[in-house]
Each structure stands twice: as structure tokens, then as C-alpha cells.
Amino acid sequence: MASWRARISIIVLATILILLQTLVVPAYAGSNDSSLINVGDQWSNHYSTGETVNDTMLRAESCGLSVTFVEQLQHKDATDTLWIDPYQGLIREVYTDSSGVSTYSYSPPVPGPSLPLVVGKQWWSNSTATRWFTPVNPIGFTSYDKPQTFHLADLHKVVAEENRTVGAGRFLSYRIDVYDGSGQLTNRDWLSLQARTVIYREELNSDGSIRYTVEVTSFSSGSGLHPKGTLSTLALCPTLLDVSNSPLTFLAGVVVILVLAPVGVSLLLRKRRKY
């Protein structure tokens, strides 16, 4: 009798997991004009300073009742991994180089482009970033275990729609001027919906001169398909247990854990009793 109860419990648990997966991972990763997220996309970015950075939209991850996408930028001597929400908002970032690991948490998420884009549209980006740094060699670091907090505020203005030719080809793009909180123009971006990224960027000095440029020299489109996430990665989810990012997601994560944990313990104890 006990074995049948255990089997029924496993079937019920599996059914719950399947239903949650169906709800958790919607079709956000499709390739269309309303989304800049397409799993498998790859870009090569050339900096006028001489560096080349390879950028890949790696995968989708389910997190409780939400979904995030993982993007990775490979520098010559560093790796920058980003967690992005379905609306292109930057949630979390992990930057690793020879000195150590810097982890950034953004609350609320740094918003992506406000789609659909039209000339004259503008939006603010307001977020608080918290940084933790873990050095490879802690000797000489006295405050690496203390988080640093700073505020991000930028105004984005769509000023033109124009064709732009870069190494990756010719794309219809939107030129977006970005201003900091003081009103200083900091950079100009040419965003292509077809390439799903900023294909050309001018970083500016305070006097308006160009400090350096970034150009997409190659682009390959991914399949847009991604595997269903698994609830076994709940502890690694960047947003599930972070109440500052989303209280509702936090509560949902706690409920899921409180429900599934006793079931797992019960099944384990029953299995041990059997032997």
C-alpha cells in the first residue's frame, strides 16, 4: 500500500512540475519586431580601441513563476554574464576578470528599449545598482565584502530612423540619443530590430567629441528555441529569492519551495522506511 501511495505522490508531483513549466516558460524567445530577445543570436562587436567582444544570447531560465534570459559577452580578458527579463530589462550581472568577480543587482531592472519605437519617443531609465566584489586574492582589500550602491538615471530619445551600414551589413535602425541625469549627452545608439541589438554606438566625451565607437561586425540569428527550465535550479535563480526585484515573484517562490520541500522529504523518508 505504501509503495502505491509513493507512486501516486510522485505522479502528482510530476504533474505539478509539468503544469508549472507550462506556465513558467512562455514563448518570449520568438524572433519578431516586438521582441529583441532570440535565444541563440550571436554578435561580434568591434571597438575602435582595438578590442573585439563576442556576444551570445545563451539560454532561457525558468524561475518560479517568471522567466529570465542569459546573455554572455566574452572580452579578451573578462566575461560579462547578464540576466534579462522578457521585456529586455537588466536584472543581474556577473563580471569576472583576473582580479575577481563583481556581482551587480539592479532594482528595479534597468529597462530595455521602449517598444514599439517611433521618432520622438523618449523614456527614462531609473534603477539602483548594488555591487558585490569578491577578489581572487583578498590580501590588500579591506572592504570587498561590503556592497556598494549607486543610482542609474538616463533619458533615451529616439531622434531618427535611418539606414546604417556596419560590418555585419546594412540595417534599418533607430538612432537613440542617451542623456545622463544632468542632461549631458553621453552616447548615440543605432538600434536595429532586425539584428536585435545596437549595431553602432558612439561614446562621447563631456565636450561632445567621440571617445570611442562600437560596431557590430557580424551577426547570426539563433533558432529562438530553448529548453524548458527546471525547478531544480530555484536556488540559482537571480530573481526568485530577491524580494527587492519583485515581491510577487518572491512570494511565489517561497510558496513553491514550502509546497515542494515537504513532499520531497516525505518521499525520501518513505523510501528509507521501505528498506
45 in any annotated domain: yes
Cα-flanking dihedrals φ and ψ of residue 20, to 5°? -65, -40
Neighbouring C-alpha atoms within 13 Å toward the C-beta of 14: 6
Q: Which pLDDT score, from 0 to 100, does residue 1 have?
A: 52
Q: What is the pLDDT of residues 229-238, one digit of tens each?
A: 433 333 345 5
Tell me if 84 is assigned to some domain.
yes
Q: Considering its fold, how many domains does the chain have in total?
A: 1
Q: From CA 11, how far away is CA 72, in angstroms rounded?
A: 37
Cell numbers describing residue 237: 535563480
In a domain, 12, yes or no: no
Q: What pLDDT does 136 receive? A: 84
The pLDDT tens digits of the residues spanning 156-215 come to 999 999 999 999 999 999 999 999 999 999 999 999 999 999 999 999 999 999 999 999
Give the pLDDT confidence score for residue 272 in this predicted structure.
54
Host domain of residue 69: 38-274
DSSP string, 83-133: EE-TTS-EEEEEEEETTEEEEEEEEEEEP---SSP-TT-EEEEEEEEEEEE
The pTM of the full predicted model, rounded to 2 decimals, is: 0.72
Residue 144 belongs to some domain of the structure: yes
Average pLDDT over every residue of 126-148: 81
Euclidean distance between CA atoms 229 and 21, whole angstroms? 7
The answer to whether residue 237 is domain-embedded is: yes
C-alpha cell at 264: 520531497
Give CA–CA dist 130/151, Å, rounded.
9
Average pLDDT over all residues of the chain:
80
Q: Which helix (H) or strand (E) holds 248?
A: helix 247-274
Encode pLDDT of 73-115 as tens digits: 999 999 999 999 888 899 999 999 999 999 999 999 999 999 9
Quick one: cell of 246? 519583485
Q: 94 has which bridge partners?
A: 81, 103
- pLDDT band, very low/low/confident/very high, at 141 (cuts 50, 70, 90): low
Q: Is residue 23 part of a domain?
A: no
Does any domain span residue 205? Answer: yes
**3-class SS of residue 173:** strand
Rounded Cα distance, 255 and 33, in Å: 36
Q: Specify the CATH number for the domain of residue 131.
A: 2.40.360
Residue 18 lies inside a defined structural domain of this protein: no
